[in-house]
Amino acid sequence: MSKNNSKTRSPLFHIVKRDPMTWYGALGVRIFAIAAALLLSAVVIMLLAQKNPLEFYKAIIDGAFGSVDRIWILAQNLVMLLCVSLAVTPAFKMKFWNIGAEGQVLVGGLATATVMMFFGDKMSLPLLIVVMTLASITAGIIWALLPAISKALWNTNETLFTLMMNYIAIQLVAFFLKRFVKSGSGVLEPMHEYGLPVIADMPYLLNIIIVAVLTIIVYIYLKYSKQGYEISVVGESENTAKYIGINVKKVIVRTLIISGAICGIAGLLLVGGTNHTISTTTVGGRGFTAIMVSWLAKFNPFVMVLTSFLIVFLERGAEQVSSQFRIPSSISDIITGIILFFIIGCEFFLQYKIVFSKHRKEND
């Protein structure tokens, strides 16, 4: 009998798709996920770092909002991540897997740095800014356009192509630094005298304003313009696009021009607006993080403000924690990972539910 029982035991649970949730239900699930993440993180903090989790969380908030300076840095990091996210969004909405934003931003920055270095003392500042802007946008477009044209003409794999373009960009920057930095140190001294203007003595304000305007433009473009509509159709189904007579190749190329141009602007803001110098790590992985920001926000530029905030907040907090408690940054990375895991993972529970078997009880 017992043998028979074990043989006929039903599965413990199975997964079924659920109806679309109400907004408060979805909010509830998300709050629960964050609470669960904080709880699990607390256990990790106590076990691995032997610290008081509450202190730990306080340090995270402190790292993000602790002083006026920190808030400015948070805002600056937020808008830069947001800017790159805005750049990748049109391409991803079209299901063009552009993982080359890192390189597209970097060549934009390189173009800016080149103009600053060689023409800085030869032009008036307004003219210099115009040239910088054009150069960085053009560079970003070229970097995005090569994979797009190959995709349109020969149906190459854009994921590999854009990824490899990243390495070319990084090596170009390395070459630039080695060849043109006169000291031979490979580190370019910041060129503070050339660059974008500073508004009201607040160094990051211009970036914030430009990205805010870009956010609104991208939102309107995607939602209300005919071209944005074409992007949605191509992304949803290429067959439908052909059926109604959309020139798919043209849309791919056009969209990647837009994507690349915004990446170029991001490079301009990073090099011309903030750093005034360039290194191979200027973009700092934003090209990849931006993909997550964009997907988490389901390609809505306004929601991307929230998702970039979440990620930048965790990053800044983690930095503070590791310096304040003098613990390896890997522990704060673990905490960031846990929190992101729960926030992304809860999307599953918004779409599916787990049903525990009734048979099991009956059999027992």
Partner 1 sequence: MEKENNIALECKNITKTFGNVVANKNVNLSVKKGEILSVLGENGSGKTTLMNMISGIYFPDEGSVFVDGKEVLIRSPKDAFDLKIGMIHQHFKLVDVFNGVENIVLGMKNKKFNIKNATKEIQETCNKYGFEIDLSKKVYDLSVSEKQTIEIVKVIYKGADILILDEPTAVLTPQEISKLFNVLRKMRDDGKAIIIITHKLNEVLEISDRVSVLRKGEYVGTINTSEANEQILTEMMVGEKITLDIERSEPKNSVDRLVVKGLDCYNSDGVKVLDDISFTAKSGEILGIAGISGSGQRELLEAIAGLQKLSGGEIIYHNPKTEKEDNLRNKTPIEIRNLGVRLSFVPEDRLGMGLVGNMGITDNMMLRSYKKGKSAFLQRKEPKNLANKIIKDLKVVTPDANTPVRRLSGGNVQKVLVGREIAASPTVLMAAYPVRGLDINSSYTIYNLLTEQKEKGVAVIFVGEDLDVLIELCDRILVLSGGRVTGIVDGRSTKKEDLGLLMTKSKSGKENE
Q: Shortest gap between Cβ of 16 and partner 1 (angstroms)?
A: 6
By the rule CB under 8 A, 359 interacts with partner 1: yes
Is 9 one of the binding residues for partner 1 (CB under 8 A)?
yes
> What one-letter code names the amino acid at 169?
A
Q: Which two tokens stand for residue 16?
A: 């079924």
Q: How far is the CB of 248 from partner 1 (least distance, A)?
A: 11
Q: Cβ closer to partner 1: 11 or 184?
A: 11
Give the Cα separation of 215 and 305 in Å (integer): 9
Q: Which two tokens stand for residue 294?
A: 């964009």
Residue 145: CB minimum distance to partner 1, A: 22
Residue range at the interface with partner 1 (CB under 8 A); choices 175-183, 250-258, 314-322, 352-360? 352-360
> Which residue is listed with tokens 């003219």?
127
Please give the backbone phi and psi of residue 291, each rounded to the nearest 5 degrees, phi first: -60, -45
Which residue's CB is nearer to partner 1, number 2 or number 124?
2
Point out which residues pair with 202 in neighbouring strands. Answer: 199
* Beta carbons of 125 and 186 less than 8 angstroms apart: no
The only residue of 1, 11, 69, 184 in contact with partner 1, by rule CB under 8 A: 11
Nearer to partner 1, 20 or 126 (CB): 20
Give the shortest CB-12-to-partner 1 separation in angstroms: 11
Contacts of partner 1 in 117-156 (CB under 8 A): none
DSSP string, 49-85: I---HHHHHHHHHHHHHSSHHHHHHHHHHHHHHHHHH
Q: Which is nearer to partner 1, 187 or 355 (CB)?
A: 355
Among 14, 95, 178, 250, binds partner 1 (CB under 8 A): 14
From CA 64, how far away is CA 60, in angstroms rounded?
Answer: 6
* Closest CB 24 distance from partner 1, rounded Å: 18
Number of residues that bind partner 1 (CB under 8 A): 28
- Choices 13-21, 51-59, 94-102, 327-335 (CB under 8 A): range interacting with partner 1: 13-21
Question: Look-up: residue for tokens 């908030």?
Answer: 61
Hey, what amino acid is at 103? G
**Binding to partner 1 (CB under 8 A): which residues in 304-323?**
none
Q: Any contact of residue 2 with partner 1 (CB under 8 A)?
A: no
Contact between 87 and 101 (Cβ < 8 Å)? yes
Q: Which two tokens stand for residue 248?
A: 């798919």
Q: Would you mind telling me the total number of residues written for the chain in this entry?
A: 364
| Options 1, 2, 6, 19; binder of partner 1; rule CB under 8 A | 19
Closer residue to partner 1 in complex, CB, 70/353: 353
Piece in contact with partner 1 (CB under 8 A), picked from 189-197, 218-226, 261-269, 301-309: 218-226
Contact 349, 28 (CB under 8 A): no
Burial of 356 by CB count in 10 Å (0-12 exposed, 13-18 middle, 19+ buried)? exposed
Radius of gyration of the chain (CA): 24
Q: Shortest gap between Cβ of 143 and partner 1 (angstroms)?
A: 26
Minimum CB distance to partner 1, residue 18 (Å): 5
Q: Which two tokens stand for residue 176?
A: 């630039």
- Residue 362 identity (one-letter amino acid): E
305-311: long-range contacts at Cβ-Cβ below 8 A with a sequence spacing of 24 or more?
A: 305/78, 305/82, 305/215, 307/85, 308/78, 308/81, 308/82, 308/85, 309/78, 310/343, 311/81, 311/340
Q: Which is nearer to partner 1, 179 or 226 (CB)?
A: 226
* Cβ neighbours for 62, distance < 8 A, ≥ 6 positions apart: 317, 320, 324
Q: How far is the CB of 142 from partner 1 (least distance, A)?
A: 25
Angle, helices 301-324/205-224, rounded to nearest 10 degrees: 140
Interface pattern 224-263 for partner 1 (x via CB under 8 A): xxxx-x--xx--xx-xx-xxxx-x----------------
**Is 16 among the residues that bind partner 1 (CB under 8 A)?**
yes
* Smaller CB separation from partner 1, 178 or 359: 359
Provide the binding-site residues for partner 1, judged by CB under 8 A.
Answer: 8-11, 14, 16-19, 224-227, 229, 232-233, 236-237, 239-240, 242-245, 247, 355, 358-359
